[in-house]
Structures are given as C-alpha cells and as structure tokens.
Amino acid sequence: MLKDKIMNRWSTYEPFYVPFNGYKVADIFITSHALSRWEERVDADSGGIEPICDFLWAKLKAGCVQPYYTNEKDVYLIDDDLVMVAEFSEIKDETDIAGNPLHKMIVVTFLGKVSEDIQLRDLKAYYSWLRHSRRMTLVKHGRKHR
C-alpha cells in the first residue's frame, strides 16, 4: 500500500517499512476471511479493506500490536483487546537500503475482541472448545444421513 516514501533530496527514496517482531513490514494483505470477520466481529461500518489497512498501519507504527503469547508467531493482540491471526512472507525482489528482505503481513482472520468475548482470554481452551463443538456438529449431521 505505502511502498515508497519520497526523501527530501532529489530523485532518492527509501523503501517504507515498519519494524515489527523481527520483520520489516512493507505491505499488508487482508484475506477475504479476515475482511468478513472484521465486519462481523469488529466494525461493520468501516467499509472495506482500506480502513482496515490504515488502522493496522497506525497500530504497527504506534507499537500497539503485540504477540498474544511470547512464543506464538501467528496470533497477535492489538491494543490489548483485538485478537488477530497473521502470517508473514518475504516480498520477492524487495529489500531495504542495506539489502535486507522486506515482508508482507498477511492477515488471516480477526478472532474478535477480548473485552466482548470472554473465551478469547485463553486461546488454547477456545480452540479446543471450537474443535470439539465442530466435531460434535459433524457427528450429529452424520447420524441424520444414515
């Protein structure tokens, strides 16, 4: 989205990135699943991908995004409330001035707000409950078809 930032000197630029958790984030990609979850669980009135990207850039720059667990590399907490699942991949043929790779943050989904969904306080228990409830739903549907 904001790949290059123009410098004051004529015809020079530096790649734009935000250092985050060992990555140099230069681009944000929102999956369709993340977009639908944002509209369901975060803000139905925000109106698309651009406001979400603007929100995430601002939060990354301000240092308001933290890993949910210290060892966890996929789940992040924004403003100590909003739970987001994101992956990172290197951007092909994009480097900073020193030649280090730049990264794309791929937002997989938004799980919701801890302040609104008490189950998000313990993600391991939440995922366990989710798997169990889905399995039970599948078992029930399996019985109906026989």
pLDDT digits (tens, 9 = 90+) for 77-122: 999 899 999 999 999 988 888 888 999 999 999 998 888 887 777 7
22: alpha, beta or left? (left if phi > 0; alpha if psi -120 to 50): left
The pLDDT score that the predictor gives to residue 61 is: 93
Domain shared by 83 and 11, yes or no: yes
- Same domain flag for 63 and 124: no
For range 2-19, the mean pLDDT:
57
Same domain, residue pair 93 and 130: no
Give pLDDT tens digits for 37-69.
999 888 878 768 999 999 999 999 999 999 988
Q: Do 102 and 146 sit in the same domain of this protein?
A: no
Q: pTM of the prediction? A: 0.74
* pLDDT at residue 10 in the model: 47
Instruction: Tell me the backbone φ, ψ of residue 39, rounded to 5 degrees.
Output: -65, -35
Same domain (yes/no): 142, 104: no
Q: Are residues 140 and 85 in the same domain?
A: no
Q: How many domains does the chain have?
A: 2
Dist. CA 35–CA 100, nearest whole Å: 30
For residue 139, what are the domain limits? 116-146
The Cβ of residue 93 has, within 10 Å, a number of other Cβ atoms equal to 7
Torsion angles phi and psi, residue 84, rounded to 5: -130, 140
Q: Is the domain of 92 the same as that of 121?
A: no
CATH of the domain at 17: 3.30.2310
Amino acid at 36: S
Q: Are residues 57 and 87 in the same domain?
A: yes
